[in-house]
A and B are shown apart, each in its own frame.
Chain A
C-alpha cells in the first residue's frame, strides 16, 4: 500500500520549457513534504520542501505547490535545463510525536532535451 505515489515513471521536456512533476498521497497525517533529486550513482539530495500550512513554496527555478484537499503536490521547474535531468522523489512526513521517517514515492525520471 503506497502512501506516496508518483504515477509518472518518466517525463521528457524541451530545454527552456516548464517541467511539472506530480505526487499524490493518501495519509492525511502527512504535514510536511519534500522533493529530492537523484543523479545516477549518487544519493538523493534535498531540493525543496513545503509545510502543510502553506500552498506554495518557491526557490529560484523550483516551485512546489500543495493542494491539501486533493492530497496532491507538484514540483514546477521553470525554465528546465539539461542539468535538471535526474530522478525526482517526492517524500512526506507526519510530524506526530516519535515520527522520524520519510515516506518516498517511487520517483519520476526527468529528461530535459537540449
Chain B
C-alpha cells in the first residue's frame, strides 16, 4: 500500500496565480480530508468528503478555495487567485473509520505564494 499520495511536494507561485493541489487516497478508504497547517493555527480542517460527496466545507477560508472529488481515487484543492497568506503546508488524509483507526495522512504540499 503506497499510502496517501499528494502532489506536488512543493509549490512556489506568484500572487494571483491559480494553484491546484492533488491527492490520491488509500484504496478502500471512503472519507477524505483536506487540512492546512500553519504556525498560528496548527492543523485546521478545510473540507471533508464521504463517498466522494462533500460533507462539510465550513473550514474553507473563502471563495478563492474550492475542492473536488470526482471519484474515489482522486481529489483536488484549488486556490484561485492565490495570496501570500495562503502559504502553508496542505495535508490530505483518508480514513475508513475515523474513530477506531484515525486518519492516514499524506506527506503534504508546502505552498509558498510570493
Contacts and interface: CB of A to CB of B under 8 A. Distances in A.
What is the interface residue range for chain B against chain A? 20 to 34
Interface residues of A, number: 23
A32 B98 CA distance: 10
A100 B55 contact: yes
Consensus secondary structure, chain B interface = strand
Interface stretch (A17-25, A37-45, A56-64, A74-82): A37-45
A43 B105 contact: yes
B99 to A, nearest CB: 5
B99 A101 contact: no
A89 B106 CA distance: 16
Interface of B: 4, 31, 33, 35, 41-45, 48, 50, 55-56, 91, 93, 95, 98-108
